Chains A and B, each alone.
Chain A
Amino acid sequence: MTSQHQIDTENTRAQMRKGTLEFCILLIISRGKVYCSDILGALREADLLVVEGTVYPLLTRLKNSSLLSYDWEESPSGPPRKYYSLTPKGKETLKQLTLTWRSLDKSINSLVKKFK
């Protein structure tokens, strides 16, 4: 028990990133119908992605809690693709999360500033 209490910085950072991943995905999808690899691309661009595999379970979970829905659409090459969009509930959740993030950001920043 005691040895596990050692703080693994790498793990903490990964946790922080992971905790915000859902919020980020909702943000990306909020701009309209989004194809899965576009989500991945946006996350990669923002450097928030560790491995792509983490995103799929998350999308499924979000869909199951009816924050997301998807439509199948024809693709120019290959089989049809899933396009994700926010449900009204998802939009509401995103609004709440945005507010939470703002206040979190503010408080953490002030703490960082104060105790740096």
Chain B
Amino acid sequence: MQKSINITLGGLAFSLEEAAYQRLQGYLDSIKQHYVAPEEEAEIMADIESSIAEKFSRQLKDAKQIITLADVEEVIRVMGTVEEITDSEEEAAEPARTVAETSGARRRLYRDTDDVIIAGVASGIAAYFGIDPVFVRLVFVILTLANGLGILAYIVFWIAMPKATTSTQKLEMRGKPVNLAEIQQAVKEKSKLIEAEGREAIGQLRRNGTLRRVLNFPVRVIEAIFLFLKRSGSFLLPVISVLIGTVFLIASLFGILGLSIAAALMIFNINSPYLVSDLPLAEIASQPNYYVSVISLYLVCALPLIFLSALGLTAIRRKNSLNLVGSGILIGVWMAAIAVFTVAAVNFLPLVKTRVEEINRQQTISQSFGYQDFNKLYLSGQEDIRVVKGDAFAINLSGRPEDLSRLSFKIEDGQLQISQRPRENRGICVFCFDRRISGEIVMPRLDSFVGVNRSSAELQGFDQPLYVSLGETASARLELLGQDLSASLSGVGSELRLSGSAGKLDIQMDGSADLSADDLSAQSVKLALDIFSDADLAGSAQNLEVSLQGHSQFDGYNFAADQVKVDAGDFADAEIWVKDRLEAAAADNADITYRGEPQVILKRAAGNSSITGQFDETENFVD
């Protein structure tokens, strides 16, 4: 049993427990003592009392009659202790309840007027995403180089984004920084979700402790990574920024240097005999606006590079190297240069254009060559040649006279060798248009074909066994008519395309060679691929034997083979369609996948490699 005391507070009557009454009385007295001037004291006390009364009546709402000590303590906590209320000078605020942590939860796009180059769009966007403005500016510059998209985007943003003038807006602009606590919170929520789902799925499993640990593991890892990034971020960011800045600075300085050399050549040395061109340079140079257009073109190309180098410098110094005036002048001069170049170039661009067209059209001639009695062919140089079967020998080539005159012919041991000598120019070649020679060679029988040096050939109508060899950047298309073919593709960029039907195919590839077939049928196919070469076949064969090394790749999902033997190693990759029997060996990070349902499968995988059926549920990794 407890005694209760009735009091009147702020015009309302309350019943208090005795302890509650004592506490309240002490509290009010201590406040009262603090004020010296009587009229001030009375007023403040009245205000405080009526506020407490309001709180009490709120506490009494749910069928409660008596104010307890706990109620009084709660009210005092909200009102503050006497020190907190009265002492404005020697304030000791409660550390637990502070401001600012929760402010600025909303985030909005504003232009940042404190960090301006043009209108603060980039820095505003950067503030929104919490990144360094340099990166946003880089994006704008790069977009500007792409058809001026950046300028358009900038103007749109400029119109759409309000200026951040008040501090609230500035806060909103930066928003709440992504802090670790939030990430942890999100991660924890996610882990709870995963845990709940896991529990539902494996309801009868009662090893929740273990389960939770297992399920939480990836979450822990992410947490740890975030923690690491957060800690190292302040250290890494300057390093990355300096690296990127250096790359930009050096690249753009080299660009400016190259441009300047080219411009100097075109201005001062245009009539030099060491400058060789297919264009009538002297004629162009005598045009009235020539120098104006060269200089304006130089500015059009160089100014963005200067801008880029300034951005690079900004990234290195981590301090703005650009200002509104400077960038304004740069952009103004750049636009003026574009305008000047457009106007000036109107005069002589048609001249250049008609000249180029003339070179392209007029100057080709056809020529026949009377070489005979050869059954092997060797092509070197820039030629597009069709080789067809026919009873009589015939060689018809067309091209520019000077290009044709550089051709040399030689028959050696039944092999016709066609090659092209280099230009006999001294000096620097600007605007040189090398034209390819095209034509047709007719011959009754072809035993061997060799292509090197950018030659390209199309072989049609031959049915004897054939040997093909392709070197650097040579390409050939071959129509097979049931014969055997052995081929060797070596040299970077050699390319062979096959079609038709064949007996035995034996092809060796290395050095990034490329083999493809659209619709090929063969009795047996034997491929050896090495060093980044790539074979892509479609069609069918009875026997397929593939060996792959050195990052090479075989795409045979559309090449149906009855019996397959595949041997892959060293990061090679093979895709196979097999019908009856598969014999596969993989080693050293190679991957073999197959489709089809062979009756016999022999697999051997070693060294982090895999051999997988397309519909296999499980992959069998063997270490």
A residues with a Cβ closer than 8 A to B are 10-11, 13-15, 17-18, 36-37, 47-48, 50-54, 56-57, 59-60, 63-64, 77-79, 81-82, 105, 109-110, 113
Please indicate the chain A residues that have their CB under 8 angstroms from the CB of B95 in the complex.
Answer: 10
Please indicate the chain B residues that have their CB under 8 angstroms from the CB of A54 in the complex.
Answer: 80, 84-85, 88
CB of B57 within 8 A of chain A? yes
Taking CB atoms and an 8 Å cut-off, the chain B residues in 491-534 that contact chain A are: none
Question: Would you give 19 A-B contacts (Cβ < 8 Å), ordered by A?
Answer: A11-B91, A13-B99, A13-B100, A14-B92, A17-B99, A47-B100, A52-B78, A52-B79, A53-B48, A54-B80, A54-B84, A56-B47, A56-B51, A57-B86, A63-B43, A77-B57, A78-B54, A81-B50, A109-B170
CB of B613 within 8 A of chain A? no
Q: 1/0 per position for B68-92, CB-CB distance to A under 8 A? A: 0000000000111100111010011
Whether the Cβ atoms of B80 and A36 lie closer than 8 Å is no
Q: How close is B10's CB to chain A, nearest CB, in angstroms? A: 6
Given contacts A11-B92, A54-B84, A57-B86, contact A82 B47 (CB under 8 A): yes
| CB-contact partner of B115 in A81, A82, A113, under 8 A | A113
Please indicate the chain A residues that have their CB under 8 angstroms from the CB of B91 in the complex.
Answer: 11, 14-15, 18
**C-alpha gap A63/B47 in the complex (Å):** 13
**C-alpha gap A53/B79 in the complex (Å):** 4
Q: How close is B12's CB to chain A, nearest CB, in angstroms? A: 6
Please indicate the chain A residues that have their CB under 8 angstroms from the CB of B103 in the complex.
Answer: 47
Whether the Cβ atoms of B114 and A110 lie closer than 8 Å is yes
Please indicate the chain B residues that have their CB under 8 angstroms from the CB of A64 in the complex.
Answer: 40
Q: How close is A45's CB to chain B, nearest CB, in angstroms? A: 11
**C-alpha gap A64/B95 in the complex (Å):** 31
**C-alpha gap A56/B88 in the complex (Å):** 12
Q: How close is B117's CB to chain A, nearest CB, in angstroms? A: 15
**C-alpha gap A113/B103 in the complex (Å):** 19
**C-alpha gap A54/B81 in the complex (Å):** 10
Whether the Cβ atoms of A53 and B114 lie closer than 8 Å is no
CB of B11 within 8 A of chain A? yes
Whether the Cβ atoms of A113 and B10 lie closer than 8 Å is no
Whether the Cβ atoms of B114 and A13 lie closer than 8 Å is no
**C-alpha gap A58/B33 in the complex (Å):** 17
Please indicate the chain A residues that have their CB under 8 angstroms from the CB of B97 in the complex.
Answer: 50
Whether the Cβ atoms of B99 and A53 lie closer than 8 Å is no
Q: How close is B48's CB to chain A, nearest CB, in angstroms? A: 5
Please indicate the chain A residues that have their CB under 8 angstroms from the CB of B93 in the complex.
Answer: 10-11, 13-14, 17, 50
Please indicate the chain A residues that have their CB under 8 angstroms from the CB of B40 in the complex.
Answer: 60, 64
Please indicate the chain B residues that have their CB under 8 angstroms from the CB of A63 in the complex.
Answer: 43
Whether the Cβ atoms of A60 and B47 lie closer than 8 Å is yes
Given contacts A50-B94, A78-B11, contact A57 B102 (CB under 8 A): no
Name the residue of chain A whose CB is nearest to the CB of B42.
A60
Q: How close is A44's CB to chain B, nearest CB, in angstroms? A: 10
Name the residue of chain A whose CB is nearest to the CB of B37.
A64
Q: How close is B480's CB to chain A, nearest CB, in angstroms? A: 73
The 5 A-B pairs of least Cβ separation, nearest first, read A51-B80, A79-B11, A53-B85, A14-B93, A53-B80
CB of B44 within 8 A of chain A? yes
Q: 1/0 per position for B101-116, CB-CB distance to A under 8 A? A: 0110000000000110
Please indicate the chain A residues that have their CB under 8 angstroms from the CB of B99 in the complex.
Answer: 13, 17, 47-48
**C-alpha gap A63/B40 in the complex (Å):** 10
**C-alpha gap A31/B265 in the complex (Å):** 74
Given contacts A52-B51, A57-B86, contact A109 B79 (CB under 8 A): no
Please indicate the chain B residues that have their CB under 8 angstroms from the CB of A14 in the complex.
Answer: 91-93
B residues with a Cβ closer than 8 A to A are 10-12, 31, 40, 43-44, 47-48, 50-51, 53-54, 57, 78-81, 84-86, 88, 91-95, 97-100, 102-103, 114-115, 166-167, 170
Name the residue of chain A whose CB is nearest to the CB of B49.
A56
Q: How close is B134's CB to chain A, nearest CB, in angstroms? A: 16
Please indicate the chain B residues that have their CB under 8 angstroms from the CB of A53 in the complex.
Answer: 31, 48, 79-81, 84-85
What is the count of residue pairs linking A and B with beta-carbon distances less than 8 angstroms? Answer: 90
Q: How close is A7's CB to chain B, nearest CB, in angstroms? A: 14
Most buried by B among A11, A60, A109: A60
Q: How close is A88's CB to chain B, nearest CB, in angstroms? A: 22
Whether the Cβ atoms of A79 and B12 lie closer than 8 Å is yes
Whether the Cβ atoms of B85 and A57 lie closer than 8 Å is yes
Q: How close is A16's CB to chain B, nearest CB, in angstroms? A: 9
**C-alpha gap A79/B49 in the complex (Å):** 12
Please indicate the chain B residues that have their CB under 8 angstroms from the CB of A48 in the complex.
Answer: 99
Whether the Cβ atoms of A105 and B47 lie closer than 8 Å is no
| CB-contact partner of B44 in A15, A57, A77, under 8 A | A57
Most buried by A among B10, B91, B95, B170: B91
**C-alpha gap A36/B49 in the complex (Å):** 13
| CB-contact partner of B47 in A18, A50, A59, A78, under 8 A | A59
Whether the Cβ atoms of A113 and B51 lie closer than 8 Å is no
Name the residue of chain B whose CB is nearest to the CB of A104.
B167
Name the residue of chain A whose CB is nearest to the CB of B78.
A52
Please indicate the chain B residues that have their CB under 8 angstroms from the CB of A105 in the complex.
Answer: 166-167
**C-alpha gap A57/B47 in the complex (Å):** 9
Most buried by A among B50, B53, B115: B50
Please indicate the chain A residues that have their CB under 8 angstroms from the CB of B102 in the complex.
Answer: 47
**C-alpha gap A54/B31 in the complex (Å):** 11
Q: How close is A59's CB to chain B, nearest CB, in angstroms? A: 7
Given contacts A78-B57, A79-B50, contact A51 B10 (CB under 8 A): no
Q: How close is B63's CB to chain A, nearest CB, in angstroms? A: 17
Q: How close is A89's CB to chain B, nearest CB, in angstroms? A: 19
**C-alpha gap A53/B43 in the complex (Å):** 13
Q: How close is B177's CB to chain A, nearest CB, in angstroms? A: 13
Q: How close is A36's CB to chain B, nearest CB, in angstroms? A: 7
Please indicate the chain A residues that have their CB under 8 angstroms from the CB of B167 in the complex.
Answer: 105, 109
Q: How close is A62's CB to chain B, nearest CB, in angstroms? A: 12
**C-alpha gap A81/B46 in the complex (Å):** 11
Given contacts A47-B103, A50-B94, A53-B79, contact A37 B84 (CB under 8 A): no
**C-alpha gap A86/B91 in the complex (Å):** 28
Name the residue of chain A whose CB is nearest to the CB of B94.
A50
**C-alpha gap A11/B97 in the complex (Å):** 13
Most buried by B among A53, A54, A113: A53
Whether the Cβ atoms of B44 and A51 lie closer than 8 Å is no
- A13-B93, A47-B102, A56-B44 known; 8 new pairs, CB 8 Å cut-off, are A10-B92, A37-B54, A51-B79, A56-B48, A57-B44, A60-B40, A78-B11, A113-B114
